[in-house]
Amino acid sequence: MGGRSRLLFLTALGALALGGCTPAEAPKPGPVAPGPVTPTAPTGPAEPAGNQSYAREMSAADKAACTSGGGTVQRRGMLGMEMCVHAYADAGRQCTDSAQCEGKCVGSAGSVAPDKAATGQCQADDRLFGCYAEIKGGKSAYAICVD
């Protein structure tokens, strides 16, 4: 196969491969059984993409259950959603493994290479957000950013 023929062949093959990347049509919705519909009003200005809806405010009953269970209602994450947060008794204690903590033993993400010795602190509460590295066996096991 000559150089020009090979180029033409590879171009055609590439076009066919890219043709497989076109999105398929979404299935048409079928008939919906009639029934009572309870409209709900949005509770906050932020609405995530993907037709998902998150309530930014906790209900009064959820807030009461949270506080009666020893938690506090706080806003967390990029969406600023209210959450029930329970503090850990060992918060801030120095550690070298998550087994030493009520939650995780965490350090600064990227501050220590995985093959080097590392220490961290026991996480403050049960709603861990932000970037951190989990410390296991005295080493940074992985780094992650959560929001």
* Domain coordinates in residue numbering, the chain: 53-86, 94-146
For β-strands 120-122 and 94-95, DSSP reports them as: antiparallel
Query: pLDDT averaged over the chain?
Result: 76
In this model, does residue 40 exceed pLDDT 50?
no
Answer yes or no: is pLDDT of 140 > 60.
yes
Q: Label residue 5 by pLDDT band (50, 70, 90).
A: low
Of 48 and 143, more confident: 143
At residue 113, the pLDDT reads: 77
The pTM of the whole model exceeds 0.75:
no
Binned at pLDDT 50, 70 and 90, residue 22 comes out as very low
The Cα–Cα gap between 55 and 28 comes to 29
d(CA 68, CA 142): 35
For residues 137 and 115, what is the distance between their CA atoms, to the nearest angstrom?
A: 11
Closest by CA to 138, choosing from 122, 116, 123, 121, is 116
State how far the Cα of 127 lies from the Cα of 87, in Å rounded to an integer. 9
